[in-house]
Amino acid sequence: MTRALPYGRQLIEDDDIAAVVAVLRSDALTGGPAVTGFETALRSVTGARHAVACSSGTAALHLAAMALELGPGDAVIVPSVTFVATANAARYVGAEVVFADVDPATGLMEPQHLEAALKRCGTARPRAVFPVHLNGQCVGMAELGELARRRGLFVVEDACHALGSVQGGRLTGACSSSDMAVFSFHPVKTVAMGEGGAVTTADDRLAERLRLYRSHGITREAADFLQPAEAFDAGGQPNPWYYEMARPGFNYRASDINCALGTSQLAKLARFKTRRTELVEAYGAALAPLAPLVQPVGRRPDCVPSWHIQVVRIDFAAAGTNRAKVMRALAERGISTQVHYLPVHRQPYYRALYSDTALPGADAYYDRCLTLPLFVGMENAEVERVVAALKAVLS
């Protein structure tokens, strides 16, 4: 029987299940050694000095905005082709969002797009840029990071699509050209935690803030206490029950259950990346006869992607159809597809908040993009099946 193909799914194996069961049989379901173990493993695969685990990629973005102390009057530059969470994180702290355009072939923000967005900040003070690595490919961070530094901007990489990607010989997440990088471990990502996220950074001070804000803003470190009369006994020893909250944070902790799964999955990252690359190459060969009607996304020559999703660009008008019809026809054949993404500047909240911005690259990318199935457990024959179905639907 032909199986249904989702656009993405996790691969959970027996050792992943065993890792979770071991935590369930332990004394610590949260706040225990599995969290530290996951952070150590993530530092290893990203080359980061610090890795701070949290409950989701969205939480990671919010924590990064808080750690940078962004707030009202500040402007954060965000490419419009991304998930809404990238922009929303700026709004969570009261900052303004200025949307940047992207390359219509790759969906990635380039330095010229950042320069154009900076000219549209109005009275808001530009403080940060959140470049987004899309589909597994990376923004040109060396150039973008250098421009951001010259403009006095903090840089937070939204690397939720790019765990394991390499650019210019540098691992994504090492933060060689940024202040922080954020990751998601949602089930459709390359590595799954169920739900989970993380922030990496090379900055000790930012790492300390991230850890503080992910757990209600509470500290139990005696050196940080601000109320000595409350904190210490007559002998100068910290009271064993005492903690302080100087600033409010959130309950953004990741559990040991999620982190045990994440650590087990991180050990397979190289294998997962290799298999996803093989499938993307199989797609490339199978799709070639459909050009120019159907084309893969443009490639950056300086990036070795860890592919997250398989996006193609389709000239629906030339095919005499539209995206909705194509998606429905593929679904009837057991093939699920998706769109990544409706440009965020076209979402009703942001349209009401800001006047419409002309971002032709983002609109052009969105008008043609379609996400086809890609996951580690997929067979090459299923790639052929997807492309054959797409060809039949378009013709």
CATH number of 14-268: 3.40.640.10
189 is catalytic: yes
Q: What is the pLDDT of residue 144?
A: 97
Q: What is the DSSP string of 184-249?
A: E--TTSSS--SS-EEEEES-HHHHHHHHHHTBTTEE--GGG-S-HHHHB-TTSPBPTT--EESS--
| Segment 340-382, tens digit of pLDDT | 999 999 999 999 999 889 999 999 999 999 999 999 999 999 9
- Enter the tokens of residue 271: 């294998």
Give the whole-angstrom CA distance, residue 209 versus residue 54: 13
Domain boundaries, the chain: 14-268, 270-394
**Cis status of the peptide bond prior to 341, with omega within 30 of 0:** yes
Residue found under tokens 């409950």: 55
Would you identify the CATH topology of the domain 270-394? Aspartate Aminotransferase, domain 1 (3.90.1150)
Same fold? 14-268, 270-394: no
Of 189, 268, 325, 391, which residue is the catalytic one? 189
The ranges of the chain with pLDDT < 70 are: none
Q: What is the pLDDT of residue 355?
A: 86
Q: What is the pTM of this model?
A: 0.97
C-alpha triplet 215, 218, 224: angle, nearest 5°: 135
